[in-house]
Each structure stands twice: as structure tokens, then as C-alpha cells.
Amino acid sequence: MSALSLEDLAVSLGGTAVIADISLRVAQGEFVSILGPSGCGKSTLFRLLTGAIRPDRGEIRVGERVLGAGHDTFAFMPQRDALMPWRRIIDNVTLGLEVQGMGREAARARVQPLIAAFGLEGFERHFPAQLSGGMRQRAALLRTIVQNRPILLLDEPFGALDALTRAGMQRFIERRWLEARWTSILVTHDVREAVALSDRIYVLSRRPARIIADFDVPWPRPRLGSPLPPEAGRLEADLLDTLLTQTGDRS
């Protein structure tokens, strides 16, 4: 049984068709990436999943259950860390739990055992401006996963980081995923990142978005920090070529 299935989703915003016809599956514990041209509707797809907007057509299923409004299936990590600058790190990472109605002390008790694993020990009382970009992203990831939702949605979470910090965060999330096996969906523009982290990659067309290809990524983990087989380079080339057919830039 799929952890998540989308069936014939379509949505228009302001009279513009953004998603035309998307069907896909995500298995339990699978890491799936979604690639597509800029502005094709990748983030709109996440808005559909979180219930921020409703589809014009189609179904979203979690297991056998059809998803409706007001659900608590997804934990969402946005493109930027979105930490509250006036809240200390410990109070930022508990924010999602407090919004759900958990008391502050109970929320801290749930978070505290994970602080060291996320590289934040000793920084609990710091404010976000006192932390590096990578540490802020780790805090944002902890805030996301501690909610214990069935599925993680990661919307280009490393896109604003410099190359070195981004590589460190990719390795960090790979290690954490290997331990926890979260069911995860990553939106990214980075072909290499998708190949390094994913079990499966879906490629979207230009707007209105359709799935034009999907690729299995069969190589064992960990992948980052060790040589990948030559086939990985060929997969990256195939993905890039598929994307370039959508932008019209094949020079």
C-alpha cells in the first residue's frame, strides 16, 4: 500500500491552469524528489498537500484514506528556515508542537533528546541570528520532524545556502533519514541533490504541470561522501536533458 497517492490532480489559480494532471505514488519510508522548470507548480503541489488550497479535480490519499481539509498528515519545511528571530532556538523548535496545543514543558521534553543529534547542543538559548545558516536549517528540520507527522515535505530547504553549507546539510539529512526512514518528498532544482538523496525522482513539465518522466535511483546508501557508479552520472545527464526539453534550452 502506498503511504501517499495522488490521482489526476488539477488546479487553477486566478484563472491560470497551474497543475493539469498529476498522478504519483510514494511508498512508506521512501524518499521521493520532484524536479521541474522554475514556476511549473512544484510548490503549488505542496500547497495542495497541506490543504492551503483545494484541487479542482482529483484525489489525495494517505493509505486508504481520502485526504480532506484540516488533516495532520504532513510536516512542512519551507525554502528558508522561517525561524522566529525573537524566539530562542529551543522555543523555535518547539513551536509546531505548541501550535498543536502541546504545553511548553511537554514540547521541550519531546525535543530535548534530539538536540544533540541535530548538532544544536549548547545553542538552545541562542537566537537565530547568532547561528550559522546550516545550524538554522538543522533547527528548522528538527522543528519539522519532531511533530511526528507521517510524511515530510521539504520545499528546496537548502536552496538559500552556500555550496559548502548545502553539501553539509545534504549529508546531514541523508544520515538522519537512514536512521529514521521518514517518508519524504523533496522539491528541488538540483539534479545532483535529487540523485544523491532519492529513491525515486518525478519530473514535471512546464506549467500547467504534468509528470513527464519518473526515474528509479537504485544505488545503496550512504551515497554522499563516497563515489557513485558511472550510471549515476548518466542518470543526472538524462534528468538534465529531460528538464532542458521543457525550457527549450538545449544549446
For residue 67, the model assigns a pLDDT of 66
For residue 106, the model assigns a pLDDT of 92
For residue 249, the model assigns a pLDDT of 54
For residue 71, the model assigns a pLDDT of 61
For residue 184, the model assigns a pLDDT of 94
DSSP per-residue letters across 30-56: -EEEEE--TTSSHHHHHHHHHTSS--S
Q: Quick one: fold of 1-73+151-160+169-251?
A: Rossmann fold (3.40.50)
| Domain definitions of the chain by residue range | 1-73+151-160+169-251, 81-149
CA distances from 33 to 84, 120, 155, 188, 228 (A): 28, 27, 10, 7, 18
Task: Give mean pLDDT in consecutive 10-residue pieces for the chain, a chain of 251 residues.
Answer: 88 90 93 90 86 89 70 80 92 90 91 89 94 89 87 86 84 89 92 94 92 93 85 93 73 50
State pTM to two decimals: 0.88
Check residue 77 and report its DSSP letter.
E
